[in-house]
Structure formats: structure tokens, C-alpha cells
Structure 1
Amino acid sequence: MIEQFKEAVNNGLSTPHKNLPSKYFYDKKGDALFVKIMGLPEYYLTRAEHDIFKNQTSNIITSLKLEKDTYFELIELGAGNGTKTKELLKLLSKEGYNFDYLPVDISQNALDNLENNLKTELPFVSVKTKQGDYFEVLESLRHSKHPKVILFLGSNIGNMNDAIASIFMQNLSANLNLGDKLFLGVDLIKSEDIVLPAYNDSQGVTAAFNLNLLDRINKELDADFNRNNFIHTPTYNEKEGIAKSYITSTINQDVHIKAINKTFSFIKNEKIHLEISRKYNDEILNNIITNTQFNIKNKLSDSNNYFANYILEIE
């Protein structure tokens, strides 16, 4: 893991347009800060999707065309703590649907916590955790002829650019069978006054979350970043529907990373790109799935029309 981290930091800071992969946000401190972000008043994404799961649970089941007498596998990619999914699991269990819940995550610790939590909260739900890479797990499940419903929530697909998202959806499509469904959560294109504060909150939690990546490099790779010489600078282009997160150098400076044995120079106002957050509409999603077997069947939106869960089916 540390070698991959070193390689990613070296490669990202050695390019003319410096960048660092956002997956390295999530150390222990980063995890805690992101949990805090999800509860911020400006961060509408989690609340909006939870609104759909809480208030349209029956509509979700109807839209997915689930039948009580037909067994299916409910597979969630990147399940996390399962807060939203529990609303669906609760109703499926209560109404006697025949299914297994298969949460997939790279973190065994996250899966263990979720499984233990569900044993207490929803003891009648059959949980079969799957640790590993999304596509490795899906390939192992592909030979099962049981109907599958894939949950990919939280607008996680929005952290991919369109080219990568297209490849992701092609791979996902290739690992499913005719009639299998995808319940896909995406953030919708909105005005800047709604979107930008979600990535630049008034309490500075998102700034601390992003700048913590520099602290992690200092700690794990023995670097000498001075985070006081960098600021969090998010942007949002409403026409494109893409938010971007950057860390910007406020002065001309050099940073040495001992683990890489290399010094990196930054000029004043030079940016390190960290993450994108693509916002969607029907046209954009249709373009993303052009070379797949997916077809859009339905769409559920929250009460503010900020977020949508699309139902896609393999045909």
C-alpha cells in the first residue's frame, strides 16, 4: 500500500499539471472528516439521496419490478455504513421478499462493521459480505443465474470523468446478465449557488479534509509540506456540470519528500488537482452508457430535484 501511495504521489506531482488521487483522502482522520462533511448543512448530496430511500421506498421496489416469489441478489458496490440502503432492506424484509444482500467493499473492516450493525438492526436480512475490487467480485458472481440488482449510490460515478465512467459502465454491463438491473445514484446539474457551497462549506471542514492529504504525505512519506502555504480552492462550471477540487500554493516554495528522495517546486497560485464531481442529466447519462447493454427504465428524484436514482436494465 505504501509503495502504491509513493508511486501515486511521485507521478502526480511530477506532471506539468500536478494532481493527487482522491482515494488517498481516506486515512483515519480523513474518514472522520468526511463523516462530518456528510452532516454539514451545505452538503445536500447525502440528505437528497436519503430522501429518496426514506420517502419513496415502495417506489424503488416497484421501479425495480421486484417480485416476492422470485429470489434475487441485492449487490451494493461500496456499501459504506449502509444508512440509506437500510431503508430499502427494512421494507423488503418486512414485506417478505426473497433475497440476499451482498455488500461489496475494498475494506474488510467496513464490511465487518456493517454486518454486525445489520445483525442488530435487521436480524432477518441475509447478509453475505464480499471483500475486494468491484469487478473481481462481480466476475465471481457472474455465473450465478439468479436475478441481480446492483446498487451504486452516492454519486460515486461522478468522481470519474466521462471517459472513465463509460469504461466503468461497459465493464459493469459485461459482468451482468440479461434482465439484471442497476440502481444508480447521481447528483443532478444545478446552479452554482447550490453546488459550490457543498465543496466549500462555511466551517472549513471540506478544506480541512482536502488539506489533510498533505498531512498524510508528511506523515507516511516523510515530507515537509507546510499546509499553511496551501489553500483549498474548489470550482464549479455550471455549463459543463463539473465541480473540481484543488489545493493551491499561496507562495513560491519547494517541498521535499524523503521517501521518494525528491524535491517538488511550486510557484505561487499553482494548483494540485484532487477530484472532480460530475453532475448529470438524462443526456449525459445516455452518452455514458452508449456502448453498454444498459437502458434507462425509470428515474426517481428527491423532493428538491437535486439528486436522482436511475433504474437501468440489461437488454
Structure 2
Amino acid sequence: MATTTTIQSAFAQDVRKGFTAKNKHLSSKYFYDDAGSRIFMEIMKMPEYYPTACEFEIMLQQSAQILKQLQFTGQFNIVEFGSGDGAKTKHLLNAFTKAGAQFTYIPIDISQEAIDALQDNITAFVPGVDMQPRTGDYFDVLEELSGSAIPNLFLFMGGNIGNYSHDDAMALLLKFNAGMKPGDKLLMGIDLQKNPRIVQLAYDDPHGITKAFNMNLLQRINNELEADISLDQFDFYSNYNPKNGEVNSFLVSLKKQHFHSTVLNETFFFEKDELVWTELSKKYSFTGIESLAKEAGFKVNHNFMDCKHYFTDSLWEKM
């Protein structure tokens, strides 16, 4: 498990690298400190942010079918990468429990606050569930499980795969594949291509919550790297390209400015209207899903979809 010092050191290095690059950028993996996780929970409650409601519907209505499709017999593990507060997963666990499935739930999240909220949510909804939560890195847990004969269902929910470029998505999926045994399954939330207006509103909402989520990156730099960024001198912009299915989000410098980080002992300079890229959120076609799975050494067993066909939880198995 990574220590706090290690995480902050990586954060510091990535901020320096991102703010000194020709095209400035910050990694979206740093959105999810405790404050960022709280803001994201607000995003998931927005009516415009359809992925949560769509995946919630799938978990609520199709979990029994998912269990049947697994074809597991006896004890198995459910290992969730980036589990958050468990609001959707609890319905999967509840359906599995009612069907008599014997499993251990192993949620993993970088945020201890999210894990604490998850434990409260899950135990209240599914009393007696066998749960072994972990705070830290996905691959530490994958390594621990690699020597066990117990089959695993890995969950990567919420459309998180869309936050990765093709190369990074492939690197992640190949790591997942390498840590899986024959017979293990991966259930992955994937946002589907659809009406561009629906997508745009989900990522540039009228309430300003997504803007606050992005601005929290700057606040985190102030807090953890002892910087003096004036948050009111930055704005937020997001754009969806329906031709390639990509949403790209940016922070925008409103004037020529600079700030200093005591921890990094460095001053960073910004031009007026200069962009800082913060996030990719890719939407997939079914052809794209098949291609992604095959390239990473998986085959698609089934795509479970919401009634609007906005979103899928795609069940893959190792080839």
C-alpha cells in the first residue's frame, strides 16, 4: 500500500511536470482526494450526469442476470477497483446475496473517506456481507489474490475506463489481464456514444459542480504543495467531440499570472487564456468495445445496458 508521503511525492512530481510542459496538464487521478471525492458524489446526484443513473438501473434490475452469466460455483471474490461509496454496487451485492451466492467483497479506493462511507452504506443495506476493504493501489491487491484458487469477479465501474487514452487504457487492461486467472471475469462500466447534447450537459453542468471538481485540483496544490494560486483567476471549459467520442476538460487561466510552490521551490507561469488539460472522458461504440477487449486479451461475454442504451456494464473474460 502506498504511503501518504509517496502519494504526495508523486503528486508534486506530476504537478511540476504538468505545469512546465509546453501544453500544460494535470492528471485526473488527482481529482479524488477526500474533498474531490465529496464533490464527485454531488456530480453523481445531478440530473444531467446520466452515467450514475444508468449504471444504477443496470445494477438494480440486472444483477441476477449478471450472476447467472458469471457461471461461478462455490466461493468467489468480488474485487472492485475505485469503489467510491458503494451506492450502486450495494444492489449487485444484495441481489447476489439473495440468490445464495457465496462471496467476499473486496472494495479498493485511494480515499479512506470514501472507504468509510462505503462500509456504512454496504453494511446497512446488506447486513452480514463478508467485506474486506482496502485503501490504496489496485495492483497490490491483484498481486495478493494471484496465488489463490478462488475465482474473482473484478469490477471497474462508473465508466472510468473512458478517462484513459487508448495507450493508457491498454496498459491498464493488460495489467488487469496479467493479474487474472483463467475463469476470472471483469465487469466494466463503459459510457456509450449518444446525442452530443446529452454528453455535453453531463460534463459542463449549469450548477457549476463539475467546475468545482476541477478547481479542487488547484486547491489541492495550494494545500499540499504550499502554493499561492488565486482560484478566481481560473475558469473551467469542457468540450465533446462526437466524431471520436472524446470529452476533454480544461482549466483556463484568465490572465497572465504566476504562482509559487514552497514544497516544490518553484514558480510557475501562465499566459492569459492558457489551457491546463485535466481530463479525458471517452465514449465508446460497441465495435470499439469489442476491439478494446480483443486487443487486451479478453472476449466480451455480454453487454448489460440501461433502458435508454446510454451506458453498458460489459462482462469480459480472459481469453
TM-score, normalized by the shorter chain, greater than 0.5: yes
Tell me how far apart the structure 1 counterparts of residues 106 and 303 of structure 2 sit (CA, whole Å): 23
Alignment match, 1:4: 10
Moved more, 10-19 or 117-126: 117-126
Using the TM superposition, give the Cα deviation of residue 178 of structure 1 relative to its aligned residue in structure 2, in angstroms. Answer: 1.2
Question: Match for residue 284 of structure 2?
Answer: 280
What is aligned with 1:314? 318
**Counterpart residue type for residue 94 of structure 2:** K
CA distance in 1, matches of 2:145, 2:276: 39
Cα shift at 1:260: 2.1
Q: Which residue of 1 aligns with 2:60?
A: 54
Contact 2:112 2:135 in 1 (8 A): yes
1:80: how far off? Answer: 1.5
Residues 145 and 65 of structure 1: CA distance in aligned 2, closer, same or farther (over 3 Å) = same
Unaligned ranges ≥5, structure 2: 1-6
The structure-2 alpha-carbon separation of the partners of 1:164 and 1:40, relative to structure 1 and needing over 3 Å to count, comes to: same
Say which is worse superposed, 117-126 or 74-83, in terms of deviation.
Answer: 117-126
Q: 3-state SS of the aligned residue for 1:144? A: coil
Give 1:169 shift: 0.9
Residue 81 (structure 2) aligns with? 77
**Closer/same/farther in 2, CA of residues 259 and 166 from structure 1, 3 Å limit:** same
- Residue 308 of structure 2 corresponds to 304
2:4 paired residue number = none
Partner SS state of residue 233, structure 1? strand
Bigger shift: 53-62 or 100-109? Answer: 100-109
Cα offsets for 1:119-159 (capped at 9, x unmatched): 33322321122343112211210111122111110011111
Question: Deviation at 1:54?
Answer: 0.8
SS at match of 1:56: helix
For the 8 Å contact 1:166–1:289, the answer to whether it is kept is no
Contact 1:170 1:289 (C-alpha < 8 Å) held by counterparts: no
Q: Does 1:89 align with 2:75?
A: no
* 1:189 partnered with 2:193: yes
- The question of whether the paired residues in 2 share the 8 Å contact of 1:251 and 1:268 is answered with yes
**Percent pairwise identity:** 39
Q: Could you tell me which residue of structure 2 aligns to residue 20 of structure 1?
A: 26
Q: Which residue number in structure 2 is paired with residue 290 of structure 1?
A: 294
Relative to structure 1, the CA distance from residue 197 to residue 117 in structure 2 (aligned partners, 3 Å threshold; closer, same or farther) is closer
For residue 41 of structure 1, what is the aligned residue in structure 2?
Answer: 47
The equivalent residue for 1:136 is 140
Measure the CA separation in 1 of the matches of 2:68 and 2:132.
24
1:293 to partner: Cα distance: 3.0
TM-score (structure 2 length as normaliser):
0.92
Distance 1:66 1:80, change over 3 A: same
Distance 2:171 2:48 in 1: 31
Count of aligned positions: 313
Residue 234 of structure 1: how far off its partner (Å) = 0.5
Shift, 1:218, TM fit: 2.2
Task: Please give the residue correspondences for 1:93-132 in structure 2 after superposition, counting only pairs within 5 Å.
Answer: 93-132=97-136
The Cα of 1:254 is off from its aligned counterpart by 2.2
In the TM superposition, residue 109 of structure 1 has moved relative to its aligned partner by 4.5
Structure 2 match to 1:271: 275
Secondary structure of the structure 2 residue equivalent to 1:290: helix
Distance 1:103 1:312 in 2: 19
Q: Which residue of 2 aligns with 1:29?
A: 35
Normalised to the residue count of structure 1, the TM-score between the two structures is 0.93
CA 1:24–1:106 in structure 2 vs 1: closer, same or farther (change >3 Å)? closer
Q: Is the alpha carbon distance of 1:200 and 1:109 closer, same or farther for their aligned partners in structure 2, counting shifts above 3 Å?
A: closer
Please list, as runs of the form range in 1=range in 2, the aligned pairs for 1:160-199 lying within 5 A after superposition. Answer: 160-199=164-203
In structure 2, relative to structure 1, the CA distance for the partners of 1:106 and 1:249 (3 Å cut) is: closer
After superposition, the Cα gap between the structure-2 partners of 1:106 and 1:31, relative to the gap in structure 1 and judged at 3 Å, is: closer
Q: CA RMSD in A?
A: 1.8
Gaps (5+ residues) in structure 1? none
The within-5 A match list for 1:224-235 is 224-235=228-239
For residues 3-54 of structure 1, what are the alpha-carbon distances to aligned partners after superposition, in whole Å with 9 as ceiling and x for unaligned? 3222111111000000112222233432222111111111111111001111
Alpha-carbon offset, residue 74 of structure 1 = 1.5
